[in-house]
Amino acid sequence: MCQIIRYVSLQKDQYVVEESFIDFIKTSKKTGHDLAIEIQQKLIDDDLDIGNCRGQAYDNGANMAGKYQGVQAHIQKSNELARFLPCTAHSLNLLGVHAARVSIKMVNFFGVVQQIFNFFSGSTRRWEMLKKVLKCTLKTHSDTRWASKYNAIHSLCTQLEEVLTALREISEDPSFGDGVAAAKGLLKQITFNFVCYLVFWDKILHIVYRANIVLQSANISIDEGCRIILGLKNALQDLRSGNTDEIISQSTSICEKSSIEAAFSQGRVRKVRKMPGEIASDEVFSREQQFRIDYFNVLDTFLSQMQWRFDKMTEVNDDFCFLTGSSLESWSVIDPKKNAMDLGLLYAKDIEPAEFVSEVESFKFMAASVFPNLKKSTPLQLLNGIRDFSLTSAYPNIEIAYRIFLTMPVTTASCERGFSKLKLIKTYLRSTMGQERLTGLAILSIENRLAKTLDYDEVINEFASRKARRIANL
């Protein structure tokens, strides 16, 4: 497991949101109960009090995010204020995975995309043939890294004409041996139907990919994450409310350039035997009608799952939303007071409810006079403004509330980056490396920004002084 601590720290009289790598936890356990015990023991070893934890984030695995037996459930038994937020980027990934399996045609489509990549990457000669006609290379894709699907679809969609040129040259050159038959098979599968799906998925994945990149920022806050998800939902809803004519028109243009027949192929109509006395018959859809059905099914899958996969993040944002700049400027005095009382009772261990309500009542007017652009001010800017204008003593509970809100994690992208570094550090050449050395190298690599600030002369002198006893013994 990768241990990342998210916190709000004071650096050069300014608050900043930090996510710091602590350690890799070696474990052989798999159940939520056993993993929770190891996490809590690691916190004890690090002299960290789990009672001070205000948020926890994992991926959507059952042993981590399970409602009853997951790690988050066991951690909350020890500290009910350690609110669980599933990784937003991973939840977005699962949306795409489920949408890509909405029908057998979608599964076959992504299978053909992978076959095209495998065909060229499986032979150095075929890959060289591809590079002669392409401006850039094709990409593979996987379910675990959803950004790879966008890269695979987008590279193929923008270079389909060149890919077809390479496939046709290979199919007509007997020197490629078995590759000739494989190229002809792929050419038969790249039809107008396939191009329509390619353009359609390129549009969707482009929107999802941009949102995913922003969500993986280390210092993103809950309110920013909610706005990004809302923007993504609105963009997908806009596609849903439209029609497929634009996609079909764009696909027709691509097919005309690539010498593909720009018409939906009609497959063989399967005759269903009727039982004696049966009058009704099943409705038979054309390929164009089936494409429209798949189009709406994919978007409906995205939109329906977005209703519940981000509930936890929305719930936390609703608890703190009255402290955002736009809310302080537009809401009435009564609404923030009610929300402040609810939040004060929820975090009674950290803030005094009665004083917090009183502070919020006056802070609304103070913020309007202190911040020139209150409506666009982020929670971090408001927190720094409290310190810049020496308002900490007047609004101590509000400052604590902002720090709690900014500490809440949005994604576990930092953990994934830590595992990426682990693959680079612990290679087969370092297979006997111990845990302590591994952690040390990982800290130097992951926290390289801090490592660059070290004074190497001072470190060398300290190291030499510790080894000076050997000289004394001689």
Name the amino acid, one letter, at 226. C
Nearest Cα to Cα of residue 333 among 355, 354, 363, 353: 363
Residue 329 confidence (pLDDT):
83
Over its C-alpha atoms, the chain yields an Rg (Å, rounded) of 28
Give the distance between the most distant pair of CA atoms in the chain. 107
What pLDDT was estimated at residue 327? 86
Let me know the angle formed at the C-alpha of 439 by 81 and 447, rounded to the nearest 5 degrees. Answer: 75
At residue 146, the pLDDT reads 67
Alpha-carbon gap, residue 71 to 62, rounded angstroms: 9
- Yes or no: say if 439 and 24 are a contact pair by the CB < 8 Å rule: yes
Tens-of-pLDDT digits for all 474 residues of the chain? 999 999 999 988 899 999 999 999 888 888 999 999 999 999 999 999 999 999 999 999 899 999 999 999 999 999 999 999 999 989 998 888 889 888 888 999 999 999 999 999 999 999 988 888 877 788 888 877 767 888 899 999 999 999 999 999 999 999 988 889 999 999 999 999 999 999 999 999 999 999 999 998 888 999 999 999 999 999 999 999 887 888 999 999 999 988 888 888 776 666 667 777 776 665 667 788 888 889 999 999 999 999 899 999 999 999 998 898 888 888 765 577 888 999 999 999 999 999 999 999 888 888 888 888 888 889 999 999 999 999 999 999 999 999 999 999 999 999 989 998 998 998 888 878 888 889 889 999 998 888 888 888 888 888 888 766 555 555
Specify whether the CB–CB gap between 413 and 216 falls below 8 A: yes
CA angle 16, 400, 406 (to 5 degrees): 40
Alpha carbons 353 and 343: distance in angstroms, whole number: 8
| Residue 47 φ then ψ, to 5° | 60, 40
CA 65 to chain centre: 16
From residue 304, give the alpha-carbon distance in Å to each of 99, 193, 220, 237: 10, 26, 25, 11
Torsion on CA atoms 353, 356, 360, 363, rounded to nearest 10: 180
Asked whether the beta carbons of 341 and 349 are under 8 A apart, the reply is no
Model pLDDT, residue 186: 94
Domain boundaries, the chain: 92-265+287-308
Distance spanning both ends of the chain, measured CA to CA = 45
According to DSSP, the residues that pair with 11 across neighbouring strands are: 14
Amino acid at 415: C
Contacts of residue 65, defined as CB under 8 A and 6 or more positions apart, other chains included, come to: 58, 59, 71, 72, 84, 86
CA atoms within a 13 Å half-sphere pointing along the CA-CB vector of 252: 9
